[in-house]
Amino acid sequence: MRTRYGIIQAMKNNCIFCAIAEGEIPSFKIYEDDLVLAYLDINPFSEGHTLVIPKVHSEGLLDTSDEMLAAVVARVKKVAAHIKATLPCDGFNILQNNGEAAGQTVRHVHFHIIPRRNGDALAFENRKGDMDALKALSDRLRM
């Protein structure tokens, strides 16, 4: 697979998120521990749009163990609080899609933290990310 950075990699589990978690594909990490990785979405809905993933592969919410979900959601809360305090923003959406019909495009369970500001329009539309701005923002948000 060719990434945005021109790197050709064989992906673990044929899953781009597993490859990101393994460090095979670069990401703009803002949090990482033994179980979970949080990094900036490269096609964000808003500034600070972050993905939180378990490092162990499972396709969706229903395939993920209760213990892993508890761990991931605890990190979603921690990272969301950090983003809200650091940007700052007025609030945030937590989005988690399951299945193609629900808009899941990567078959690896993940949560979106989408920072919101008063008066912004509620629209979930990706826009092309600026890699330099994403790098600077990941440095600013890194925990």
Please identify which of the residues 49, 82, 108, 110 carries the catalytic annotation.
110
Cα separation, 140 vs 143, whole angstroms:
9
Backbone angles phi, psi at 122, to 5 degrees: -80, 90
Torsion sign across C-alpha atoms 22, 86, 96, 122: negative
For the question of residue 110 being annotated catalytic, the response is: yes
From residue 108, give the alpha-carbon distance in Å to each of 84, 86, 104, 126, 132: 25, 28, 9, 19, 26
Tokens of 57: 């592969």
Q: Which residues are catalytic?
A: 110
